[in-house]
Structure 1
């Protein structure tokens, strides 16, 4: 029996979790924490193949239904496959998660409670996220009553009622990975859907690897969080795609975020070895973004990215 049974008067009576995975290493415990909080858990594996079979069996044993995609189609496609399946199973809302996210026992009920508190006063619809993602506050105070509006929320931990998905649509699969959630939040705002934060609620998550740069002056920056080199193709390309579509409506927001991203790209370029490979990766990403090209990165760009390493030392201290 779901722990949501006591909240059956909610406007979202059936809530399912959708968890995406790609070469997972420890799915069972996270699924076991989600199962009592929801009416069902769907794990969508994004083309990991036979190597993930044991972990997917652990997910099934913990109570999840598993959807295994035959090839890697990107996180947006994996999320969409899980959302569709949950709605087929009768869900009124889904909460989406990455495989690296974990939750406390009251996580889903807190999201649902805030949704119910806000839904009558937000005629365009409301999605709900935790205030904190991996320790980072992803909200701003919008009103005198202290309600928290989300700013660039991460999709992991996001409550999406079916009515919102019907109004806004699913995640954009041509983004493949990176800024998928940012685009969705901008689309929500364009459609009049509020994305609000649950005060004090935390989603535990492992971010990218932490490094300390070698040499001056980057050493003065301290610990840096870096993604796998290939991710910077998607981050650059999708940043440009976002700006092409949404800059007229969200100018100050996108200019600020774009400046922050481009400063990070400069740091990444200085740390990459060989630097020329990262330059080519970013340049091809920018060209594809300007041309409006989405989907999986070209094979040649992926091969260049695989050759890149960081001129930095891993920092694994807590």
Structure 2
């Protein structure tokens, strides 16, 4: 099954065949509720590949998915979330798909998600692109800002009613659709980062390589980032993220690494480090486990400067043992 569209601006304006949009869902220790959600995705008609990052494969899960026409692949957290994306995308693009939606086990997509995303893919034609929905953070009950950047400055997009596709510069991987040509041009996701800022790094890479990202305002993805809580400090309202200490390590380390890697070409890569600084204040003022979190942030900053990457258990085995992570 495929869709045939015209190639805009092509010299020969010949028909261009775009295979059906596929979906790649990454799991980690899924629950029965997650399995129910996966089976609901199966009936939406998009080819579905499930990459399980749990420590061991689940024959029961594989059989249930296969019975509904979905493919199951165990990655055992090799390369973290980036590794799951890379193994899954390689498999799906080998099958001839023109674009793939990246979803996590908690992603809740609307019933028109695949239809509207396929319309957008057809409108863009045979070019390198990624498309993301607007992200509604259920923790704080508002949309995350969508940003556009020239590498030096950042501007927040404002959406008019009935807005169509709009160029942007940064997309969350969850809910994002990436075209085969974009993946070929940008290459694999950075497995050395393992988790956190994997999508930030890919967005920065796209800025350097001239691969355009878009936001699809007609679609909204419900998402939860951390365990956000609102606090008042005098007249100021501050949000604390309440991520565990091991996630603070990855955020700080990978943010610093992106700064070292990209700031000479893209000064906007400084922004993740401003976020790290903000999170230090959040931990000091509002969060529990301050010592573990602050020491993890400090280790992360140092390792980012030194280029000591990979999973925490490899980069900092003593810290991993102390945090009980592994």
Match of 2:249 in 1: 233
TM-score of the two chains, using structure 1 as the length reference: 0.81
Displacement of 1:154 after TM fit?
Answer: 0.6
For residue 270 of structure 1, report the CA deviation from its aligned partner: 4.3
Equivalent pair of 1:33/1:105 in contact (CA under 8 Å): no
Which residue pairs with 1:95 in the alignment?
A: 101
Select 1:193's aligned residue among 193, 207, 211: 211
TM-score by length of 2: 0.79
Q: CA RMSD in A?
A: 3.1
CA separation of 1:273/1:156 partners in 2, compared to 1, >3 Å: closer, same or farther? closer
What's the CA shift string for 1:141-182, capped at 9, x where partnerless?
Answer: 499997522343111111111111111101110010000001
Report whether the alignment pairs 1:285 with 2:288. Answer: no
User: How far 1:284 sits from its partner (Å)?
Assistant: 1.1
Instruction: Return the match for 2:227 from 195, 200, 209.
Output: 209
Corresponding residue number in structure 1 for 2:282: 267
8 Å Cα contact 2:252-2:300 kept in structure 1: yes
Q: 1:269 to 1:296 in 2, by over 3 A?
A: farther
Aligned match of 1:176 in 191, 194, 208?
194
Runs of 4+ in 1 over 6 A off after TM superposition: 142-146
Deviations 1:191-248 (A, max 9, x none): 11000001231112233224467xx959974663322221110000000111111112
Task: Name 2:132's counterpart in structure 1.
Answer: 129
Structure 1 residues 273 and 34: alpha-carbon distance in aligned structure 2, compared to 1, 3 A threshold: closer
Could you tell me which runs of 5 or more consecutive residues in structure 1 were left unpaired when the two chains were aligned.
Answer: 308-318
Q: How many residues align?
A: 296
Q: Conserved in 2, the CA contact under 8 Å of 1:46 and 1:73? A: no
Aligned residue in 2 for 1:313: none
CA contact (8 A) 2:46 2:114 kept: no
For 1:116 and 1:258, how far apart are their aligned partners in 2? 37
Gap runs ≥5 in structure 2? 6-15, 138-142, 148-155
Distance in 1 (CA, whole Å) between partners of 2:254 and 2:284 is 18
Question: Helix, strand or coil: the match of 2:297?
Answer: helix
Distance in 1 (CA, whole Å) between partners of 2:193 and 2:78 is 13
Indicate the SS of the match to 1:288: helix
